[in-house]
Amino acid sequence: MPDTSPNRRAFLALAAGLVAGCGRESPSTHAVPAVTDAEQAAWLARQRSLAQRFGVAADAARTTPEPPFPVTQPFPELKPLMKLTVRLHPRLPRPDDHRFDQERTASKIGGIFAVPKSPLRGRNGCIPILQLRVEDAPPHLRFDPNTSLMQVYWQVPTHPGEPPIVRTVFIEPDHEKGGTPPLPEGIPLAWVPFPCRVFPERVAEYPSPYLMPKMMRERIAAWKPPDAERSGTDFFLNQLGPAPGTKVGGWPRILGEPNTPTCEQCHRLMDFLMTVATREWDAPTVARWQPQEERGSLDPSGYQSALGLDLGDRHHGIHIYLCNTCPDHPSLAQFT
- For residue 17, the SS3 value is coil
Banded model confidence at residue 10, pLDDT cuts 50, 70, 90:
very low
Q: Is residue 162 part of a domain?
A: yes
Contacting residues for 29 by C-beta, under 8 A, at least 6 apart? none
Q: Is residue 154 part of a domain?
A: yes
Q: Is residue 231 part of a domain?
A: yes
Q: What angle do CA 249, 254, 258 make, to 5 degrees?
A: 105
pTM of the model: 0.91
- pLDDT digits over 270-325, tens only? 999 999 999 999 999 999 999 999 999 999 999 999 999 998 878 899 999 999 99
Q: Is residue 187 part of a domain?
A: yes
Separation between Cα atoms, residue 139 and residue 159, nearest integer Å: 36
Domain that holds residue 61: 6-22+38-335
Please state the domain count of the chain.
1
Q: Is residue 204 part of a domain?
A: yes
Closest among 49, 97, 60 to 294, alpha carbons compared: 60
Q: Is residue 139 part of a domain?
A: yes
- For residue 167, the SS3 value is strand
Instruction: Give the CATH number, domain containing residue 286.
Output: 2.30.320.10
Q: From residue 323, how far is each of 6, 32, 80, 267, 326 by CA, in Å? A: 42, 29, 23, 10, 6
Q: Is residue 222 part of a domain?
A: yes
Q: Is residue 125 part of a domain?
A: yes
Q: Give a three-class secondary structure readout of 102-150.
A: HCCCCCEECCCCCCECCCCCCCCCCEEEEEEEHHHCCCCCCCCCCCCEE
Per-residue pLDDT at 156 exceeds 70:
yes
